[in-house]
Amino acid sequence: MRRQLLPRDLGFDVLPRDEPSLFKWFLASFLFGNRISQEIAAGTWRVLVEVHGRDTPARLCECTHAQLVRILGEGGYRRYDESTATRLQRLCRTLLDDYEGRILGIAEVAGTREEFERRLLEFRGVGPVTLAIFMREAGPAVFGPA
């Protein structure tokens, strides 16, 4: 079994209560959670974040659907590019509309880790695999060590 990629493999750490690193990891977890290779997911994350600067919900929402599909394709994320683009746009729009564009906004509304996880699972495209990947690093950063 291969080692799971971590934030440091992408060039950053998830820091306690740090919104930029939490969103970057959420975006990476979202990509890693699909049935696609880690290498392609990591490459696509790099194209989104490092090449195109789409490192916040607002910046990601500035993309049209066609632009986002093109960016995903640049990263090699072709098999699910249309559906992934749609889900990413909805995810970012919900973050902006319901949680002030912040992962920590979800935590503040939720109050508990369990409610936070339940709310994350409400995002289309976030299932148990994506949640587990995200919470492995983000859980302690949002709620402190277990």
Residue 1 pLDDT more than 60? no
> At 58, which CATH number?
1.10.340.30
pLDDT digit string (tens) for 32-74?
998 888 999 999 999 999 999 999 999 999 999 999 999 999 9
Helix boundaries (H) for 1-146: 19-32, 38-46, 57-61, 65-74, 81-99, 103-110, 113-121, 128-143
Q: Is residue 120 part of a domain?
A: yes
Q: Is residue 66 part of a domain?
A: yes
Residue 2 pLDDT more than 70? no
Handedness of CA 23, 65, 120, 44 (dihedral sign): negative
Quote the pTM value.
0.94
Q: Is residue 6 part of a domain?
A: no
Cα torsion through 24, 48, 7, 13, rounded to 10: -50
Q: Is residue 128 part of a domain?
A: yes
Q: Is residue 140 part of a domain?
A: no
Q: Is residue 52 part of a domain?
A: yes
Structural domain of residue 56, as residue ranges?
17-132
Q: Is residue 47 part of a domain?
A: yes
Q: Is residue 145 part of a domain?
A: no
**Number of folded domains that form the chain:** 1
Residue 103 pLDDT more than 80? yes
* Cα 56 from Cα 118, distance rounded (Å): 22
* Cα 60 from Cα 80, distance rounded (Å): 17
